Structure formats: C-alpha cells, structure tokens
Structure 1
Amino acid sequence: MIRWVHPIAGMAAGALIVGFQAATIRAELSGSLAEIRAVKEGVLYALPVLAICLMTVGGSGRALAGPRPKGVAQRKRDRMKLIAANGLIVLVPAAVFLHWRAQTVGVDAVFQAVQAVEIVAGLTNLVLIGRSARDGLRLSGRLRRRPSR
C-alpha cells in the first residue's frame, strides 16, 4: 500500500503547488485586490492540506528507502529536506504575511517583493518535487534512463 500512497501524496502536493502558483499569478495579473485577497486566503487555508501531503511523501519515502538510502534514493531524501526547509523558512511565513498584508494594507511594494520571493520559492519546490518524481519512476522501473550519447 505504501507504494501507492507515496506517489499519490506526491502528485497531490505537486497539484496543490501548481494551483497556488497559477491562482497567484492570475490574481496578480488581474490587478483586482478582491481576487488577490481571495487567493491569499485560499492559499493560507489550504496550507495544512499541502503540509499533510508533504509529510506523507516524506514518511512514506523514508519507509520505502530504508534506514540507509544510497544513490538515487539518497538524492530524493536530500531534495525532500530542501523542499521542507524552503516551505518552513520561506513559503509558510510568506503565505501568512501576504494574507495579512493583502487584508490590511493591500498591494504595495513590500507585498510585491514578498510575492516575488514566494513565487520563486514555490516554483523551486515544484522543480524539486518534479525531479524527485522522475527519480521515483526510475527507481520503480517505470521510467528508463536515457542512453548516453
């Protein structure tokens, strides 16, 4: 069962991050303060769901890799540490701040600067999750390595 839980939780986390990014960028491009506020509120309230998905990915990945992972499994574990650190140090505080700022002050230069950092950090996590998914498919034998040229 753990072999199914791990990829499903990973896909759910990736989908949530894509949704956060798409909604954020769309709201920013619209210029509508009401839409920006709604998106920031939605992201803030959906963060616990993303956290559960990522904890499930981390725990199931640790169980699948065993106590001393090597090679690709170790790289996946190292990536997960970066994803978690990025989330806890940058993304969660940014989400809380941006929600507060949108509700109280509105969109100003400070909001936009933090928003830019959040977008870059979110896209970074998305790339890291994508690479881990690719490596997971390789480990499971569902994806072959490209031959060297």
Structure 2
Amino acid sequence: MKAKLHGFFGAVALLCIATFWVSTVVSEAFLDLASVTLVKNAILTGMWLLIPAMAATGGSGISLSRTRRGRFVEVKARRMKLVAANGVLVLLPSAFVLASWANAGRFDGAFYALQALELLAGAANITLLTLNLRDGLRLAGRLPVRPSALERE
C-alpha cells in the first residue's frame, strides 16, 4: 500500500510541475499578458497541491528505502535531493516573484530572465522526476531492468 501511495503522490507532483511548465509556455507564446498573469497566479494556487504531494512523495520514499537497498534506490534518493533543492531555492521563490511582477504589470527583461530560469529549473525537475518514475517502475517489477541501466547510473 505504501508503494502505491508513493507512486500516486509522485505522479501528482510530476503532473503538477508539467502542467505549470506547459501552461507557462503556452501563455507566454500564444496568449496575452492578462493570461500570463492568470497562469502565474494559478501556479501559486497550485502550490497547495504540489507541496504536499512532494512532501508525501519524499516521506514515503524515505520510508520505502528503509527496506530496500541498491543502485536504483540510491540514485532515486540523490535525484530527489536535487528536485527538492531546485524547488525550494529556484522554483518556489521565482513563482512568487513572477506572480507579483505579473500582477504589477512588470513584464520587463528581469521578468523574462527569471521566467527563463524557472522554465529551465522546471524542465530539470520534470526530467529528474520522470527518471525516478521509470526507476520506481523498475523497482516494482513493472519495467524490465536492462543490465546496462545499472552500469550507467
């Protein structure tokens, strides 16, 4: 049951981040500034779902790792530390700043520079979480483990 909850919360977190990322790209590329502002505010509201999902994923992952050892477990734990640091140090603060600037109508060079940084950090977290999802499925026996996968990581 704990493994199923871990997978569920991890999937929710990954879907939140991917939704934030795609919504940002679409609003910036195709919509007006009012829509960009709406997306920036919606992302802040979405943090009420993302943060508990990330915490539950991390907590359940730590709990599950107590009974498992191996390369995949170690690599997943290392990735999650990067995801957490990226979220706390880059993504969360930039979400607040970007929403504040958007609400003030401040769409200047600093806004777009920070937006670019946020998109890069978000893409990194999407990649890391997707790799963790893959390795979690391998640990659960739902995906085959190729011998070369253990050597690469």
Same fold (TM over 0.5): yes
Instruction: Return the TM-score normalized by structure 1.
Output: 0.94
User: 2: CA distance between counterparts of 1:90 and 1:114?
Assistant: 10
Where does structure 1 lack aligned partners over 5 or more consecutive residues?
A: none
The Cα of 1:106 is off from its aligned counterpart by 2.5
Contact 1:33-1:106 at 8 Å conserved across structures: no
- Alignment-derived partner of residue 115 in structure 2: 115
Deviations 1:23-80 (A, max 9, x none): 1001101251100000000001111210111111101011111078442101111111
Instruction: Return the TM-score normalized by structure 2.
Output: 0.92
- Alignment-derived partner of residue 146 in structure 1: 146
Letter in 1 for 2:122: G
Cα 1:27/1:10, change in 2 over 3 Å: same
SS of aligned partner of 1:145:
coil
Structure 1 runs (4+) deviating above 6 angstroms are none
The Cα of 1:119 is off from its aligned counterpart by 0.3
Letter in 2 for 1:11: A
- Alignment-derived partner of residue 136 in structure 1: 136
User: Percent same amino acid at aligned positions?
Assistant: 39
- Alignment-derived partner of residue 77 in structure 1: 77
Cα 1:68/1:141, change in 2 over 3 Å: closer
User: 2: CA distance between counterparts of 1:89 and 1:9?
Assistant: 21
**For 1:31-42, what aligned pairs fall within 5 Å after superposition?**
31-42=31-42
Contact 1:138-1:145 at 8 Å conserved across structures: yes
Letter in 1 for 2:101: R
Give me the CA root mean square deviation. Answer: 1.5
SS of aligned partner of 2:146:
coil
Q: How many residues align?
A: 148
- Alignment-derived partner of residue 95 in structure 2: 95
Where does structure 2 lack aligned partners over 5 or more consecutive residues?
A: 149-153
Contact 1:43-1:95 at 8 Å conserved across structures: yes
